[in-house]
Amino acid sequence: MANLHFHYGTMGCSKSALLVINAYNQSKNGNKTEIIKPKIDNRFSENKVNSRIGISADATVLSSLKNWKPAPDTKMVLIDEIQFFTPKDVDTLVRIADSTPVIIMCYGLMVDSNEHIFPASRRLIEVGAKLHRMESTCQILGCMRLATHHLRYDSTGKVIREGAQIAVGDSNYKSVCRQHFNMLYHSTEKGGR
């Protein structure tokens, strides 16, 4: 088994749920796990990984992975919202994966709502993490195509086309297929809500 993995997909494709389930199964098998989440992710709670389907697990909250090391008896590290960490944090994970038997499972988004890849996600690809695409369908009513993009909306329902790459929260986002992204993102009309 590879020691460094990246489970990626759009919002709502059950990344956090899979992380919690994976941690539970490893614990049930007697394998010590550590769960980490970035400090910036405080949507549902400060110190838990929460899935929208209602399951959660305690997590260590860190601003950076620079000085972090897994405990000596840890078998697996599960990291939620990896896109909020930095490329240097990913390099720390690479060193751990390459010098210890610890398996590192990262979960997160590949691209932001402006179709730009997150730097930490890019770094995971560059360093050869094993990629696992998690799939879900477009959230535009009636569409059954694969969700590959995110649209971010302001409080009036208009698509936001520029600004900060990181905006924590999900009430103003929709996961959409490429076709709906191109139609709504590049349109001057509100649409999609």
Token readout for 28 is 């049930």
- Within 13 Å of residue 15, how many CA atoms lie on the same side as its CB? 25
Query: Is 135 a residue of the active site?
Result: no
Cβ atoms of 77 and 107 within 8 Å: the answer is no
Cα dihedral 3, 51, 122, 180, rounded to 10, equals 140
Cα–Cα dist 129/104, whole Å: 10
Residue 58: left if φ>0, alpha if ψ -120 to 50, beta else—which one?
Answer: beta
Residue with tokens 């690479």: 94
Cβ atoms of 129 and 4 within 8 Å: the answer is yes
Q: Choosing from 34, 46, 81, 135, which is the catalytic residue?
A: 81
Cα–Cα dist 154/163, whole Å: 12
Number of H helices and E strands in the chain, helices first, is: 4, 10
Which sequence positions are flagged as catalytic?
Answer: 81
